[in-house]
Amino acid sequence: MRMVLMGPPGSGKGTRAHIISDLFDIPVVTTGDMLREAVRDETQYGKIAKDYMDRGDLVPDKIVNGIVRERMMKPDVHDGFILDGFPRSQTQADALDEILDDLGIELTHVLFVVLSDEVIIQRLSKRRSCPECGAVYHLESALPKQKDICDACGAQLIQRDDDKEEVIKHRLEVYRELTEPLLERYGNRGLIVETSGEVAMNELKAHLKALLG
């Protein structure tokens, strides 16, 4: 399975990516996490990326395409992968086509997570994230066992700078303008599989297994 996960910010792509990764034993490649790591490590790319991310804008294609290309050349993705957060524009989709061409492989699925703007804003403004391992929590529906502490690794949870309400609205606009048009591109290739962003957490694994099985 060679999959792109698409859907608006906050639709639960990350959660789905990890479940699919376990089900099919394939790695997840998450551009948001890779960029946040670069920001944390204060790399040359990270320093440039930070301002774009804090505003909710896309990080320039040159940086993101470079990071993805480098990752995709590693042998562990050759037998399958889930791309989470990439591509997000036509230029990035062109870059992905080139990378896969060079590797002599093709996408098999584009999983599209459908969710309304109201639910997205509600979810993201109450989201808390682990800066160390990327686990996500929600102030109402998915509290950590100990307040503000990550169940998985014990780190202090944070609210991402881009999970503030104005930035969320901007991320949604960017998504509609630049990313959503990719649905047509992948639809034309017959790759799209739709799934609701509102499937309950405890049903998600069975749902995805049946859908992709």
Which residue reads 């297994």 in tokens? 209
- Tell me which stretch binds ligand ADP (CB under 6 A): 19-27, 71-79, 83-91, 137-145: 83-91
Amino acid making up residue 189: R
Among left, alpha and beta (phi > 0; psi -120 to 50; other), residue 154 is left
Q: Per rule CB under 6 A, is residue 134 in the interface with ligand ADP? A: no
Q: Examine residue 10 and tell whether it contacts ligand ADP (CB under 6 A).
A: yes
Provide the token pair at 128. 């808390």
Q: Give the dihedral sign, CA 114/120/122/127.
A: positive
2, 71, 123, 127: the active-site residue: 127
Query: Would you count residue 56 as binding ligand ADP (CB under 6 A)?
Result: yes
Among 2, 3, 19, 92, binds ligand ADP (CB under 6 A): 92
Q: Please count the other Cβ atoms lying within 10 Å of the Cβ belonging to residue 153.
A: 12
Residues in the chain: 213
What's the min distance (Å) between Cβ of 209 and ligand ADP?
23
User: Dihedral sign, CA of 36, 42, 43, 45?
Assistant: positive
Residue nearest to ligand ADP (CB): 32
Residues 6 or more apart whose Cβ sits within 8 Å of residue 179: 6, 87, 88, 89
Nearest approach, Cβ of residue 207 and ligand ADP (Å): 20
Within 154-193, the residues that bind ligand ADP by CB under 6 A are: 162, 171
Q: Which stretch binds ligand ADP (CB under 6 A): 56-64, 103-111, 149-157, 189-197?
A: 56-64
Nearer to ligand ADP, 59 or 82 (CB): 59
- Residue ranges in contact with ligand ADP by CB under 6 A: 9-10, 31-32, 35, 52-53, 56-59, 64, 85-86, 88, 92, 162, 171
